[in-house]
């Protein structure tokens, strides 16, 4: 392995090589799973290679951290036991009285940790329609410390104009955090546009096989890394070695998986749009989508998630979600297998109904995580269920 291969301009090469070198002693090509809680020191407080205790750091986790940092174009990465554990380290670094602006269409668990956990510690949140850059600008106060964006958003696949929002936040001296879970670093790189921190639920596309829960924070500023590493070490929640290995196995194939996820989702969105039982399709890759132009500017492809409102509303949505055979009724997303769910009663049930409706989420909304099965089989499955 040369430095060149790890630093390649090409995503596919970095996905397979960054952070990972054959073992210098025995030649093992894959990074071992270092199942150890502690590390022998050469003298008191003189650890080898900086490793002391696996809550703080572990070589398998380090390999993954270097890998995902490289994929997002960041100087550092920190890996956590879940996406929300990464969100937790981020939020723990704010002070009572600090204010955070977020989009009003967010992953339900993110909304819950904001409102039901951190509001109790005196952090204030404003939720705005993040499609509208003006609305974000208007919400900025002197106490605002952070603009927290999710684009495409979950579950409505709305986009925030990253360049415009980052520019206005920087002008006002505010940090910007982007949850890049839906896009993945293969489709969109917020750090390159000036974001301070990127967050992932690596449970989803980065791991990609629905077999592990994991999250990360990635950035460039070493002071931010130190701050989040302090909370990771002080509060726990670092990713364990075996899960680190599983995510690293996933990132190697991210590019080829995403190409197929996107291709299948595009075909399914177009099919749904033409179906009589369908009232509305949310997919930014469709020409009819109001933010299609922004999607083309900001994302390499439109992603693998599609949301749909049926003519028959909630009842039709619930019935549809139980009649598919290949699309499994389950929460989560981003795995190779297709999943279907009803956000208002499943992933987003922790958001009060009036907040959901105000944000534009229909009660009968159905969300599809389009997998990489053969697209003909997926469309046939949707057709029979509708
Ligand atoms: C799943 C998800 C999270 C939370 O991640 P976990 O790994 O489940 O803790 C955060 N943001 C988005 C967009 C998600 O889909």
Q: How far apart are CA 76 and CA 221, in angstroms?
A: 8
Q: What is the pLDDT of residue 3?
A: 53
Is residue 301 within 8 A of residue 260, CB to CB? The reply is no
Tell me the CA–centroid distance for residue 209 and ligand 1, in Å: 15
Q: What is the pLDDT of residue 6?
A: 66
Atom of ligand 1 nearest to the CA of 214: 7
Active site annotation includes 179 = yes
Question: Residues 34, 61, 105, 107: which is the catalytic one?
Answer: 107
Atom of ligand 1 nearest to the CA of 203: 7
With a cut of 50, say whether residue 132 has pLDDT above it.
Answer: yes
Q: How far apart are CA 137 and CA 149, in angstroms?
A: 13
Per DSSP, the chain holds a count of helices (H) and strands (E) of 15, 14
Active site annotation includes 121 = no
List helix spans (H) across 119-161. 133-139
With a cut of 60, say whether residue 112 has pLDDT above it.
Answer: yes
Mean pLDDT of the chain: 95
Tell me the CA–centroid distance for residue 360 and ligand 1, in Å: 21
% of the chain exceeding 70 in pLDDT:
98
Task: Provide the pLDDT confidence category of residue 354 given band limits of 50, 70 and 90.
Answer: confident
Atom of ligand 1 nearest to the CA of 333: 15
Return the ∠ at Cα 114 (arms to 217 and 361), rounded to 5°.
Answer: 100
Active site annotation includes 55 = yes
Active site annotation includes 107 = yes
Protein residue whose Cα sits closest to atom 5 of ligand 1: 83
Tell me the CA–centroid distance for residue 17 and ligand 1, in Å: 26
Tell me the CA–centroid distance for residue 174 and ligand 1, in Å: 24
Q: What is the pLDDT of residue 177?
A: 98
pLDDT, mean of residues 106-114: 93
Question: Residues 55, 135, 170, 252: which is the catalytic one?
Answer: 55
Q: What is the pLDDT of residue 228?
A: 98
Protein residue whose Cα sits closest to atom 4 of ligand 1: 83
Residue of 86, 110, 368 to test ligand 1 pocket, by largest number of atoms within 8 Å of CB: 110
Task: Provide the pLDDT confidence category of residue 4 given band limits of 50, 70 and 90.
Answer: low
Q: How far apart are CA 56 and CA 31, in angstroms?
A: 19
Contacts 24+ apart (CB under 8 A), 167-175: 167/194, 168/133, 168/136, 168/137, 168/140, 169/136, 169/140, 170/194, 172/140, 172/144, 174/140, 174/144, 174/145, 174/146, 174/147, 175/145, 175/146, 175/147
Question: Residues 105, 161, 179, 196: which is the catalytic one?
Answer: 179
As given in the structure block, the two tokens for residue 222 are 């070493």
pLDDT, mean of residues 274-297: 97
Residue of 201, 305, 346 to test ligand 1 pocket, by largest number of atoms within 8 Å of CB: 201
DSSP string for residues in 253-311: THHHHHHHHHHHHHHHHHHHHT-TTEEEEE-TTSTTSTTHHHHHHH-SS--SEEEEEET
Atom of ligand 1 nearest to the CA of 332: 1
Tell me the CA–centroid distance for residue 311 and ligand 1, in Å: 29
Task: Provide the pLDDT confidence category of residue 144 given band limits of 50, 70 and 90.
Answer: very high
pLDDT, mean of residues 161-184: 98
Q: What is the pLDDT of residue 265?
A: 98
- Domains, the chain, with CATH or none: 3-251 (3.40.640.10), 255-385 (3.90.1150.10)
Tell me the CA–centroid distance for residue 89 and ligand 1, in Å: 14
Atom of ligand 1 nearest to the CA of 202: 7
Q: What is the pLDDT of residue 167?
A: 98
Atom of ligand 1 nearest to the CA of 154: 13
Q: What is the pLDDT of residue 363?
A: 83
Q: What is the pLDDT of residue 2?
A: 47
Ligand 1 interacting residues, C-beta cut-off 6 A: 82-84, 107, 109-110, 150, 154, 179, 181-182, 201, 203-204, 213, 215
Q: What is the pLDDT of residue 5?
A: 58
Task: Provide the pLDDT confidence category of residue 345 given band limits of 50, 70 and 90.
Answer: confident
Protein residue whose Cα sits closest to atom 12 of ligand 1: 107
pLDDT, mean of residues 117-122: 97
Residue of 107, 197, 199, 208 to test ligand 1 pocket, by largest number of atoms within 8 Å of CB: 107
* pTM, 2 dp: 0.95
């Amino acid at each position: 392995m040369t430095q060149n291969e790890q630093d390649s301009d090409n995503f596919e090469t970095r996905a397979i090589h960054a952070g990972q070198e054959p073992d210098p002693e025995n030649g093992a090509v894959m990074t071992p799973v270092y199942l150890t809680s502690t590390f022998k020191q050469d003298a008191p407080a003189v650890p080898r290679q900086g490793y002391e205790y696996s809550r703080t750091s572990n070589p398998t986790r380090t390999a993954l951290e270097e890998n995902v940092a490289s994929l997002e174009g960041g100087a550092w990465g920190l890996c956590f036991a879940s996406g929300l554990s990464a969100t937790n380290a981020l939020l723990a670094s704010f002070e009572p009285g600090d204010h955070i602006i977020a989009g009003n269409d967010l992953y339900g668990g993110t909304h819950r940790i904001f409102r039901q956990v951190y509001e109790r510690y005196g952090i204030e949140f404003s939720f705005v329609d993040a499609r509208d850059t003006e609305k974000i600008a208007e919400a900025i106060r002197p106490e605002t410390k952070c603009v927290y964006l999710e684009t495409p958003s979950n579950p409505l696949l709305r986009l925030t104009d990253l360049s415009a929002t980052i520019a206005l936040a920087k002008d006002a001296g505010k940090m910007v955090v982007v949850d890049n879970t839906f896009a993945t670093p293969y489709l969109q790189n917020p750090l390159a546009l000036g974001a301070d921190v990127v967050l992932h639920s690596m449970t989803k596309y980065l791991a990609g096989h629905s077999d592990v829960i994991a999250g990360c924070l990635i950035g460039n500023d070493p002071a931010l890394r130190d701050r989040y590493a302090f909370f990771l070490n002080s509060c726990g929640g670092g990713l364990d070695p075996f899960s680190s290995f599983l995510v690293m196995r996933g990132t190697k194939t991210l590019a080829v998986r995403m190409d197929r996820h996107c291709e299948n989702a595009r075909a399914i969105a177009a099919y749904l749009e033409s179906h009589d039982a369908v009232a509305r399709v949310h997919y930014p890759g469709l020409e009819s989508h109001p933010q299609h132009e922004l999607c083309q500017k900001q994302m390499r492809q439109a992603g693998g998630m599609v949301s749909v409102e049926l003519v028959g509303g909630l009842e039709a949505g619930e019935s549809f979600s139980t009649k598919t055979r290949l699309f499994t009724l389950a929460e989560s997303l981003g795995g190779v297998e297709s999943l279907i769910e009803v956000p208002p009663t499943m992933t987003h049930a922790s958001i009060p109904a009036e907040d959901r409706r105000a944000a534009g989420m229909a009660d009968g909304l159905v969300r599809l995580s389009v997998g990489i099965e053969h697209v003909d089989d997926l469309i046939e499955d949707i057709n029979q269920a509708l």
